[in-house]
Each structure stands twice: as C-alpha cells, then as structure tokens.
Structure 1
Amino acid sequence: MSNVLFSIFPSENFIDLGLYQYGWEQCDPAHSFGPAARTHYLFHYVISGTGTLIAQNSKKESVEYHVKSGQGFMIFPHQICTYTADPDLPWEYAWIEFDGLKAKEIMEMAGISQDSPIYKPRYKDISQQMVNEMLYITQHSQESPFHLIGHLFLFLDYLTRSHSSPIVKQGNRMRDFYIKEALSFIEQNFQNDISVEDIAAFCGLNRSYFGKIFHDTVGKSPQEFLISYRMSKAGELLKLTSLSIGDIGNAVGYSNQLHFSRAFKNTYGVSPRAWRYEHQGEEN
C-alpha cells in the first residue's frame, strides 16, 4: 500500500465553504515541506508520530511548535511556514485544505489563529469524529462534490467543538446586517458594471469603512470577493453551457473579453478556453 493518498476537489463553485485538496501520508523520517505559503486554510491532524512546525505569527515572527499525535496544526492563507517530520518517530497525518466566506469566522469560533495555530482537542470523542470525517473525505474522493462538501461541514463542526480553547464569537448585528446586504447586492448585480463604491452606497456606508468591515468579516476585500464570485459563475457557465467566451464574460460583468480572460487566468491559472476543455467533460 502506498504511504500517501492525495486528491484535488473537482469543483470550485462553493462560495461559503469550498474544498480544495485533501489527503493522508505516512511521512518518511525528517520529511519536510517549505518554507512556503499556501493560498487557503490547510489543517493537518497528526495520527501518530511527531514533528515540528515553524510558522509566522501575526507579527511576521517565526515561531517553532512541536506537534505530536492527537494534535494538529492550521496553516493560514499567505502564512510562510515549514513543517518537518521527526527523524526517529516521523508523523502520520491527514490534511484538508479549505476556504470560503465562512472560513475566517470558523477559525475565530474554534479559537485557532496565526498566534495560536496548534489544535489540542478538549473532547477526545468529538475529536475522533473529526478525524473520521477527514479520513472519510480522503478515502471517498469519487463521491459527488455535494457529498464531500457535506462532510467538510461536519469536519468543521467537530473541529470547532473539540478544540481546547474555543472562543465564543460576539456577533455584531449591524455589521452582520451590512455584510448580508452587500452579499445580496453582489449576488443580484454581479453581471452588471458595479464597483465597490456601488456596493458601499447600497449599504449606506462610506467606501473606506465598508471595505474594512467587509475584509474583517469575509477575509477578502470587496473587490477580491467580487472578482472571485464572478469567476465562480463564469466557471459554471463554461462547464454547463456552449456560450462563447465573450458572451460568458458579458454574463458575469465584463464587456471586454480581454479583461475577462485576464481576470479568469489570474484566478484559475489557465485561460477560459483551456479551463472549459479540461472541465466540460466532467460528470456533475
């Protein structure tokens, strides 16, 4: 049997929470990854063995952590880190990479941050359920995207409930209201020529304050989220329709096909045409 399982999630059309890749590995002694930065949230759970994580905290200072079996560690987007298996007792771990609108809020609920990235379960039974979900996802990559996303939600529920120092998030009702209004406006108008100023004006806020609360809540700037949302919709149209590239660009708010193709390639790494060729034959 191979000492590693690795899969990439076949769909990027989930906005609230999306799955990117997941796997399991029995590491060789002193096996190391990094220094490198990830684009999304990446969680490792150590099933056996031990190892070392070196990760930047919120002040960009490198901190070393020793992580053993029964614990885990979270790597945050754009955080530079290195992790290395012990030379005598190398770790076996499962991992899952995810992101989305709710990811930042979930990390706050779990009490996991760049300054406190180590997962130490408070409830062993709930922690075991979390591990079961990680292994289930890893071993069932052939299941439909909706099926796997359902198990991602279960994994995150067990993660937040089992961690040793959960933080009860104090909701800001007005802030939540503004963000819901903004997301609703984007959902209904993404195909039009809208700007961040338009979204802020719809919410009755100045652009600077709106940008701050949006980024604090969602983890992306309004402009980054608008582009991401449009590209997600473009991906659906490329996969599910035979519309031309220009028509799809128009349908997601880009009157200039060149601007649309550039934005799409910046998001997915390939042109719309190449992405369609790669994905249109997939089962839904």
Structure 2
Amino acid sequence: MEFIYTSPLGLADLEVWEVGTQDCWPGAIFGPGVRDMYILHYVHDGQGTYEQGGRAFRVGPGELFLIVPDAVHAYRPDAAMPWSYSWIGFNGSFAARFIEQAGFTEMLPVKQADPDRPVEPLFRDMMGCRDLPAKELLLTGLLYRLLGMLAVPDETVPLRANVGVHVRQAVAFMNARYMERIGLADIASHVGLDEKYVCRLFQQSLSMSPYRYLTEIRMRKACRLLRRQLPGIAEIARSVGYQDPLLFSRMFKKTLGLSPSAYREQSRRQSV
C-alpha cells in the first residue's frame, strides 16, 4: 500500500486530501463505516464488491466507485480474485457538482471508464507526485483533469452554433439539475426571464418547448443507465427526476417507442 497525504492549501472549490494505491488481500475489508470526504476508487485488476445505501455493486477492472461524505458504506475484495485499486480523496464546494457532471449519482455510485478516454494513467501520475514540490497543486490539477475525462457530454442534446445565450443558460441549468423536480418556473427564474418568453425562445431556437427538451435530456441519461445493466427501473426513474416509476416508464416508451425493460434487454443482446 502507498499513500500520499497532503497539506491543505485552503482551496475552497476543490482540494485533494489524500491519494493512494493498494494490492488487496482477500481479507482487506472496510466497513460498514463513513468517511468525511469524497473518495473515488479506480480498479486496475481483480474484482470486489461495494455496498452503499443497502445496494451491492460488483466492481471489476476499468470501473470506478465513489464514496460520498457521511454515507454508510462497505467494500471488500473478491476472495478468489482480490482487486488492486487506486484512489483519490477530495472535498470542496464544487465537489458535488463535479461528481454529478462526471456521471455519478446516489443511486449509481459505480461507473465504467470510457476506453476512448482512459483515466488509469492519471491515477498512475498521481502517485508520481509524492516527492514533487507543490504536489498539492499538481494533484488538484490531475483531479480536475480526471473529472473532466469522466464527464459525459455525449448524453446532452447538441445545440446549434446560433442558439442564443439565454437558451444556452437554460440548457446548462437543465443538464445540471435534471435529476431534481424542476419545472418551467425554475428554468425561467434561473435565466431571469418571463416563462412565456423562455418558451418562445426555445420554440424559435430548438423548435420544441423547454419541457420537451428537459424530457429528452432525462431520457438520454436513462438510456445510459439502462445500458449499464446495474440499477433497477425505479432507481433509474429517481436518478433522472421521476419519483413515480410508472410515469417514467410511460414517458420513456412515448419517447423511444419501447419500455425501459425492453430497451435494457435490447442493449444486452447487442453487447453480447
């Protein structure tokens, strides 16, 4: 096991607290317990199980799992193929927002790294900062880069170049808050415009209402979660802003032409 502990610099937005790497033995079990920071693990080899919120996730090579502050969790290596992983612990006023942009949610704290945007070299680089001057700043820079590599812009609805600033602000708001119960009043308040005027701008720029655009964002996010095969339909519904799984299923079928379970099965067959 290797650790790098840091000396706080007072970076309020995002600050690295510790970095480490470990080749685990089968009995290297943590928890149940809580931590006071975000800790993002990347699994290099082997298998293990991560438990949070009463749910258990199998995690293997190329996947990441996130520990959030004050949440009860536990994790343990597989007995036959214990994992080796690296991690980075951090906090800051922007940490929760960046984590959401990176694709992690309370319902889905596990993520497969995109092979086209590999993050393993970044974890290797972090351990190389141990004896470097100003390692805290270097590690924070690597953390920003890591979260940027994990961000999922491919799930956002693309905008044409001529879309105005107010519509872009509204779209950014929806992409950041789609998992919450937001409506037209919230969107209009965010951009500082009248609700009817916001609707007019969306129709002129995108030929659809703000509600339709928000629904498309939510459905794209839901498709990604369904392709991952991990959470249940109800959990996915809540993760994309629907407290009622039946309403989510109706909206999904209306938008994509098949039910969430059928979409998941179709994705599973295509990936075999």
TM-score range, shorter chain: 0.5 to 0.7
1:9 aligns with 2:16: no
In the alignment, the residues of structure 1 paired with residue 188 and residue 95 of structure 2 have an alpha-carbon distance, to the nearest angstrom, of 19
Structure 1 residue ranges without an equivalent (≥5)? 57-61, 178-284
- Aligned to 1:131, which of 117, 120, 123? 120
In the alignment, the residues of structure 2 paired with residue 42 and residue 31 of structure 1 have an alpha-carbon distance, to the nearest angstrom, of 17
In structure 2, the partner of 1:140 is 129
- Aligned to 1:48, which of 33, 45, 68? 45
In the alignment, the residues of structure 1 paired with residue 189 and residue 9 of structure 2 have an alpha-carbon distance, to the nearest angstrom, of 30
In structure 2, the partner of 1:281 is none
Deviation (angstroms), 1:6: 0.7
In the alignment, the residues of structure 2 paired with residue 85 and residue 173 of structure 1 have an alpha-carbon distance, to the nearest angstrom, of 48
In structure 1, the partner of 2:243 is none
In the alignment, the residues of structure 2 paired with residue 110 and residue 176 of structure 1 have an alpha-carbon distance, to the nearest angstrom, of 24
Tell me if structure 1 keeps the 8 A contact 2:5–2:18.
yes
In the alignment, the residues of structure 2 paired with residue 27 and residue 17 of structure 1 have an alpha-carbon distance, to the nearest angstrom, of 28
1:118 aligns with 2:71: no
In the alignment, the residues of structure 2 paired with residue 49 and residue 116 of structure 1 have an alpha-carbon distance, to the nearest angstrom, of 21
Deviation (angstroms), 1:113: 1.3
1:81 aligns with 2:73: yes
Alignment CA distance shift 1:168-1:30 (3 Å)? farther
Tell me if structure 2 keeps the 8 A contact 1:53–1:65.
yes
In the alignment, the residues of structure 2 paired with residue 156 and residue 29 of structure 1 have an alpha-carbon distance, to the nearest angstrom, of 30
SS of the aligned residue for 1:142 comes to coil
- Aligned to 1:93, which of 59, 67, 85? 85
SS of the aligned residue for 1:11 comes to coil
Runs of 4+ in 1 over 6 A off after TM superposition: 164-167
1:149 aligns with 2:136: no
Alignment CA distance shift 1:176-1:98 (3 Å)? farther
- Aligned to 2:21, which of 17, 24, 27? 24
Deviation (angstroms), 1:66: 0.8
Deviation (angstroms), 1:79: 0.6
In the alignment, the residues of structure 2 paired with residue 29 and residue 22 of structure 1 have an alpha-carbon distance, to the nearest angstrom, of 22
Alignment CA distance shift 1:70-1:176 (3 Å)? farther
Deviation (angstroms), 1:106: 1.2
Deviation (angstroms), 1:64: 0.9
In the alignment, the residues of structure 2 paired with residue 176 and residue 17 of structure 1 have an alpha-carbon distance, to the nearest angstrom, of 26
In the alignment, the residues of structure 2 paired with residue 146 and residue 20 of structure 1 have an alpha-carbon distance, to the nearest angstrom, of 11
In the alignment, the residues of structure 1 paired with residue 141 and residue 191 of structure 2 have an alpha-carbon distance, to the nearest angstrom, of 24
Tell me if structure 1 keeps the 8 A contact 2:129–2:138.
no
In structure 1, the partner of 2:100 is 108
In structure 2, the partner of 1:67 is 59
SS of the aligned residue for 1:132 comes to helix
Deviation (angstroms), 1:87: 0.8
In the alignment, the residues of structure 2 paired with residue 16 and residue 173 of structure 1 have an alpha-carbon distance, to the nearest angstrom, of 27
In structure 1, the partner of 2:161 is none
Deviation (angstroms), 1:147: 2.1
Q: State how many pairs are aligned.
A: 165
Deviation (angstroms), 1:40: 1.1
Q: Deviations over 1:232-283 (max 9, x none)?
A: xxxxxxxxxxxxxxxxxxxxxxxxxxxxxxxxxxxxxxxxxxxxxxxxxxxx
Q: Deviations over 1:64-114 (max 9, x none)?
A: 111111111001111111100011100000000111111111122122112
In the alignment, the residues of structure 2 paired with residue 65 and residue 27 of structure 1 have an alpha-carbon distance, to the nearest angstrom, of 18
Tell me if structure 2 keeps the 8 A contact 1:42–1:97.
yes
Structure 2 residue ranges without an equivalent (≥5)? 157-173, 179-186, 193-272
In the alignment, the residues of structure 2 paired with residue 125 and residue 26 of structure 1 have an alpha-carbon distance, to the nearest angstrom, of 26
In structure 2, the partner of 1:169 is 176
Identity of aligned residues (%): 25
TM-score, normalising length: structure 1: 0.53
Tell me if structure 2 keeps the 8 A contact 1:6–1:24.
yes
